[in-house]
A and B are shown apart, each in its own frame.
Chain A
Amino acid sequence: MQRRSILKAAVIGTIALGTGISVPAVAQDKKFTIALIPGLTTDAFYITMHKGAQAAADALGVELMFQGAPEFNPTLQVPVLDAVIARNPDAILIAPTDTNQLIEPLRKAHDAGIPIITVDTFIGNGQYQTGGGEADFPLAYIASDNILGGRMAARALGEAIGGEGKVYVSNVKPGISTTDQREEGFKLEMKEKYPNIEVLETQFNQNDANNAASQLQAMFARNSDLKGVFGANLFSALGAANGVQQAGQSGNIKVVAFDAPKSIVDNINSGLVDVAIAQHPAEIGYFGVVSAFAHLTGQSIPTLIGTGFTVIDKSNVSDPEIAKYVYSD
């Protein structure tokens, strides 16, 4: 199990101090309403984030609104954001679906005096409160470092295939900050640490497992020495794993999945997926609410909080310490 908690300990300390003092007084004066707008509502990652946020909200006596669009798409997310702004919540936590297109819509909230914290994804370059740039107005960015996650996937796959052979990335579609970063991190790590591994052309499946499976089969038909695949999100990984099974190559072609909903964990148990890189979405939601609350009660908060990853494979999948990182439904 590998974890990254560089800032976390410090953050917990700060926040615990702030909240511990202010909860009783504030709870009597006013009940804060905090809105959480996920990248999409139909995804175990954000559902788990919601649960973490709800846990923090319950603990702090905060009202939590959870509203979002069914697809990861700025055109669908902006109207949801506008509706939430109209409700005038005390703070907004949002996973922006585009680094540029969400800047102006979020500025409206900022101009209305609503503090903004971005979770999972960011606007601009993700560096806030710097006094420079168009998009530095959010207070904080709370997320896993997806480039690091991609690097961890590369390490897991590199070790699994013994440091040589051909691999490729099965990805959703270009233009999503998180999955782009996973691919970027994966390719960087492969280039720097595994010179004998050849990374083939990335295949985009439009979030269609059937397509991802067919792509795996075609890649294998063309590259009989294919050794591994990195599925950069749930359907990419589910599809690639099924492609390996259909090709009769279970065990020969290793599958590393990003994210750990139950269906991926089942596939680890049955041997179709070798490794899953689990993010900690519940932590992201939890720290999002706690940070917003700290800000609303006059405490200072860090501009960047990095949550960690857990590497899940067959050896640790049944460990209860690991099971808590499996995304809930």
Chain B
Amino acid sequence: MSSTEDVQKTGPQAAPRDHVAPPADHSERAKTLVQRIADLRAWLFLAALVLAFEIWARYDFDGTFILNPYNLQSIAIFAVAPLLLASGQTFVIISGGIDLSLGFIMGLAAVVAAHVVNWTTPSLGMPLAVLAGALAGVAIAGVPGLINGLLVARLRVPPFIGTLGMFGVARGVAFLLAGGTVVPVQGNSFFSTLGNGRFHGVPYIVIVTIVFVLLMHYLLTQTRFGQHNYAIGANVQAARRAGINIKSHLTRLYVLSGICAGLAGVLYSARFNAGAAQAGEPLLLDSVAAVVIGGASLFGGSGTIFGTVAGALVIAVIQYGLVFINVEPFWQFISVGVVIIISVLIDQAQRRFSGGRVDE
């Protein structure tokens, strides 16, 4: 364990002043060439994929893939929900945990947002009702997040088990609130306009997501919270000895992760003009996949938001691109699976090179 200097170099402003030293383990490795390439691997992957689809499109039907703004827009919209879940998941995975409840927290938020918009529209009018619905959706998502955090931090339940339990609870509560079905948003066209409108061709939900992801990036790289997160993930004992309040950090961490899912749920109900409890169910595994493809290690201690962005885009590009070039649908599963495996293999190889922990 060593000095603080290494860590403070991670950001240009070196925002944290009074922070304690995380173990050097993470930061030293971060400088090796192998690690740098590994950090970029998701973006290289993405570039290779886009190139492959572009060549296919030109060769096969004389079209273009990436130069068509419509395709970019479609992929961006598709990536919104998985990326929001994955940005929270990135924080959790860096800390050495995992959040399996995100999918149904998203569904819970979507249902609550739809209900609150419906209830408040007559009294508050459309824009304020949307604000109320959005706040309610995000706030409610913090509740299962808080319980996750208390379970993991105070009661020492392993994250995998604690959040799996919350997966069930959030799912049940979401379906109960929704009456087992989908809750349509009624009488508030403003909500749907936000969900489907555009600013100079860029969908609002994409703009919201970009801003949010930048904030998450800032939080991870420029604040004490972010640095503690790396420290805990790299070596929790060392972090504790260095004086980091692990319990308080983990509690806040899972609340943050829940809030990410909450935002995804609110945007879902705006876009589809309805809240569905199962909205995020298929996205949970995509969120983990995006983080892993993005270069984070499931052992904790490493990972970046921009890597996760690339990971989410890789998944979106594969799924969209394979439909675009008209490949038999089942190849989509195979290709996403193959990309995940390759990413983990790269991660393992990189650990061997750099002398880190390898799961034998």
Contact = CB atoms under 8 A, between A and B. Distances in A.
Contacts of B324: 218, 221-222
Interface string B66-77: 001011011101
Contacts of B68: 221
B196 A245 contact: yes
A207 B278 contact: yes
B272 interface: yes
A98 to B, nearest CB: 19
Interface stretch (A16-24, A85-93, A196-204, A304-312): A196-204
A209 B274 CA distance: 11
Contact of B74 (A47, A70, A246, A327): A246
B180 A246 contact: no
A222 B326 contact: yes
Interface string B83-94: 000000000000
B67 to A, nearest CB: 12
Interface in A200-245: 201-204, 206-211, 213-215, 217-219, 221-222, 234-235, 238-239, 242, 245
Name the residue in A70, A218, A242 with the highest tally of chain B Cβ atoms < 10 Å from its Cβ. A218
B210 interface: no
Interface in B172-196: 175, 178-184, 186, 192, 196
A297 B108 CA distance: 45
Given A211-B319, A217-B74, A218-B320, A263 B184 contact: yes
A316 interface: no
Contacts of A213: 77-78
Interface string B313-343: 0001001110111101110000000000000
Give the size range of B's interface with the partner.
35 or more
Given A214-B78, A266-B184, A70 B175 contact: yes
Interface stretch (A6-14, A36-44, A142-150, A287-295): A36-44
A210 B326 contact: no
A222 B321 CA distance: 10
B274 A218 contact: no
A329 interface: yes
A208 B71 contact: no
Nearest to A38: B180
Nearest to A214: B78
A42 B184 contact: no
B113 interface: no
Interface in A35-68: 41-44, 47
A115 interface: no
Contacts of A222: 61, 63, 323-326
B75 to A, nearest CB: 8
Interface of B: 61, 63, 68, 70-71, 73-75, 77-78, 81-82, 171, 175, 178-184, 186, 192, 196, 203, 268, 271-274, 276-279, 281-283, 316, 319-321, 323-326, 328-330
21 contacts: A42-B175, A42-B180, A42-B181, A44-B181, A201-B329, A204-B329, A204-B330, A208-B282, A214-B78, A214-B319, A218-B320, A218-B323, A221-B70, A221-B74, A235-B276, A242-B271, A261-B182, A263-B274, A270-B273, A327-B181, A329-B178
